[in-house]
Amino acid sequence: MPTTAEEPGRAARPRVAVLFGGRSSEHAVSCVTAAGVLQAIDTAKYDVVPIGIAKNGQWSLVDADPASWSLRSSTLPEVAVSDDSVVLSSQDGSSELVAHGPGSLPRSLGRIDVVLPLLHGPFGEDGTLQGLLEMADVRYVGAGVLASAVGMDKHYMKVVFAAAGLEVGPYEVITDRQWRRDPQACLARAGALDFPLFVKPARAGSSMGITRVTDPAQLPAAIEAARLHDPKVVVEAGITGREIEVAVLQGRGTQDPRTSQPGEIAVRDGGHEWYDFEAKYVDGAAVDLSCPADLPADISARVRDLAGAAFEAVGGEGLSRVDFFYTQDGKLIINEINTMPGFTPVSMYPQMWAKSGLPYTELIDELITLALQRPTGLR
Ligand SMILES: Nc1ncnc2c1ncn2[C@@H]1O[C@H](COP(=O)(O)OP(=O)(O)O)[C@@H](O)[C@H]1O
Ligand SMILES: [Mg+2]
């Protein structure tokens, strides 16, 4: 049964709104993450209020049972549209959730101390939700408005990384206006990069809308496919290298960000040429996730330093996963930062921390602790 109000006598526990689902194409992935977190979060320490966001954007109080949100073979979990909506309301520095239903008076679901947004993609990971939470004056886990927005955008994150001295691969940006005004010029620019190309929506995730292009004739269709997710498209030269990832966790107080042991994603031969959606979520046998990655000690140390630098470059807070290509000639080229990385118990981010001495339940606890210590507003 959903929690409907604060349990009397236990009000001292911080109340955590676990927010998941959402409007992006990664809705189901977010629900699966929520299943993992609801299963593992320390309920002796935190009073958990599960809030689902339906695909139409409606917020409602949902079932706290992790089984309702876990991935079953044939059906993807989804937050249903409900009769009762929930809104965040804030007054004098304290926030509460209020339920509204047809024909009933609004009723309070009690105060909220911190929001744990388990949302991926636009309207969750991109600063919009973070802005809403700032406006409502409620603390939340993870990156703030700017870091979220920059980390969501594969164009601007490259601009910021390059300015911070990190190496990014060759790329071209195709805005909506440029594409509609002069597609030939866009194709010429993109086609001048070294093939294969990776054509991507600027702001998506889970490999959705990405096409690997080996022939210039495929480029227009790949751009249109990316544009189904985002009117802004990023075209990148394909980089040959091992995919190495590092989990970054904000330091306590004035400490530097903490970095995990690096992990590696290796797509097995056959079937998948790159780490596409199927390889990520459907065909588990297609990839090997390993941590620690088998790297020389100096490269391991260097990639951790670069991951910390990438986190600082975007103004990261809370958590981020930073992904690199490690090339044959020893370069570490940054691919992307994810400010809300995959966060199921078997996802890379929690796995890398588990292998680095911080198990899942403690990781969740640490993230909430960091968020509770951090006020909203300019900081
Ligand atoms: N420039 C590139 N060169 C080689 N492989 C790439 C490149 N860009 C993306 N890929 C492959 O596509 C996958 C998904 O791309 P990525 O940019 O990480 O998007 P997402 O945000 O959806 O994870 C990567 O993990 C990698 O396997
Ligand atoms: Mg990625």
Q: Report DSSP letters for 249-298, one per residue.
A: EPPSTTPPPEE---EEEEEPSSS-SS--HIIIII-GGGEEEESS----HH
Give the up-direction half-sphere exposure of residue 194: CA atoms within 13 A in the CB hemisphere: 6
Judged by its nearest atom, the ligand closest to the C-alpha of residue 272 is: 1
Cα angle value 119/110/95 (rounded, 5°) = 65
Is the pLDDT score of 73 beyond 50? Answer: yes
Is the pLDDT score of 11 beyond 90? Answer: no
Mutate to test the pocket of ligand 1, among 234, 275, 276 (most ligand atoms within 8 A of CB): 275
Q: pLDDT tens, 217-226?
A: 999 999 999 9
- pLDDT, averaged across the chain: 92
Is the pLDDT score of 259 beyond 50? Answer: yes
pTM of the model: 0.93
Q: Which helix (H) or strand (E) holds 348?
A: helix 348-355
Q: pLDDT tens, 292-339?
A: 999 999 999 999 999 999 999 999 999 999 999 999 999 999 999 999
C-beta 243 within 6 A of ligand 1: yes
C-beta 274 within 6 A of ligand 1: yes
Q: Distance between CA 262 and CA 301 in Å, rounded? A: 9
Mutate to test the pocket of ligand 1, among 210, 212, 327 (most ligand atoms within 8 A of CB): 210
Structure tokens at 202: 């600027």
Instruction: Report residue 24's pLDDT band, with 50, 70 and 90 as the boundaries.
Output: confident
Rounded to 5 degrees, φ, ψ at 244 are -115, 135
Is the pLDDT score of 2 beyond 60? Answer: no
Q: Distance between CA 42 and CA 195 in Å, rounded? A: 49
Instruction: Report residue 25's pLDDT band, with 50, 70 and 90 as the boundaries.
Output: confident
Beta bridge partners of 94: 91
C-beta 239 within 6 A of ligand 1: yes
C-beta 206 within 6 A of ligand 1: yes
Q: Which atom, in ligand 1's list, is nearest to the CA of 169?
A: 1
Q: Distance between CA 340 and CA 148 in Å, rounded? A: 8
- Check residue 312 and give its pLDDT: 98
Q: Distance between CA 178 and CA 348 in Å, rounded? A: 37
Between the CA of 320 and the centroid of ligand 2 the distance, in Å, is 12
Between the CA of 238 and the centroid of ligand 2 the distance, in Å, is 14
Residue 200: how many other CB atoms lie within 10 Å: 26
Q: Distance between CA 238 and CA 327 in Å, rounded? A: 12
Structure tokens at 205: 């995730």
Q: Are 120 and 29 in contact (CB under 8 A)?
A: yes
C-beta 336 within 6 A of ligand 1: yes
CA 193 to chain CA centroid, nearest Å = 28
C-beta 123 within 6 A of ligand 1: no
Cα 93 to Cα 51, 113, 138, 242: the distances in Å are 21, 10, 8, 47
C-beta 291 within 6 A of ligand 1: no
CA neighbor of 227 nearest in space, from 205, 210, 213: 210
Among 41-45, 75-79, 93-97, the range scoring the smallest mean pLDDT is: 93-97
Proportion of the chain above pLDDT 90, given as a percent: 73
Beta bridge partners of 235: 172, 199
Query: Looking up tokens 């917020």, which residue turns up?
Result: 59
Q: 3-state DSSP call for residue 345?
A: coil
Average pLDDT over residues 142-156: 97
Q: Distance between CA 34 and CA 69 in Å, rounded? A: 7
Q: Distance between CA 324 and CA 11 in Å, rounded? A: 44
C-beta 210 within 6 A of ligand 1: yes
Q: Distance between CA 72 and CA 49 in Å, rounded? A: 23
Phi/psi class of residue 377: alpha, beta or left (left: φ > 0; alpha: ψ in -120 to 50)?
left
Q: Which atom, in ligand 1's list, is nearest to the CA of 171?
A: 1
Instruction: Report residue 7's pLDDT band, with 50, 70 and 90 as the boundaries.
Output: low
- Check residue 3 and give its pLDDT: 47
CA neighbor of 375 nearest in space, from 123, 114, 51, 12: 114
Q: What domains sit in the chain, N to C, each tagged with a CATH number?
A: 15-140 (3.40.50.20), 151-168+240-356 (3.30.470.20), 171-237 (3.30.1490.20)
Peptide bond preceding 201: is omega within 30 degrees of 0, i.e. cis? no
- Check residue 269 and give its pLDDT: 74
Greater confidence (4 vs 212) lies with 212
Instruction: Report residue 245's pLDDT band, with 50, 70 and 90 as the boundaries.
Output: very high
Q: pLDDT tens, 332-359?
A: 999 999 999 999 998 999 999 999 999 9
- Check residue 1 and give its pLDDT: 40
C-beta 238 within 6 A of ligand 1: yes
Mutate to test the pocket of ligand 1, among 335, 339, 347 (most ligand atoms within 8 A of CB): 335
Greater confidence (365 vs 288) lies with 365
- Check residue 204 and give its pLDDT: 86
- Check residue 9 and give its pLDDT: 47
Q: Which helix (H) or strand (E) holds 200?
A: strand 197-201
Structure tokens at 264: 């590696």
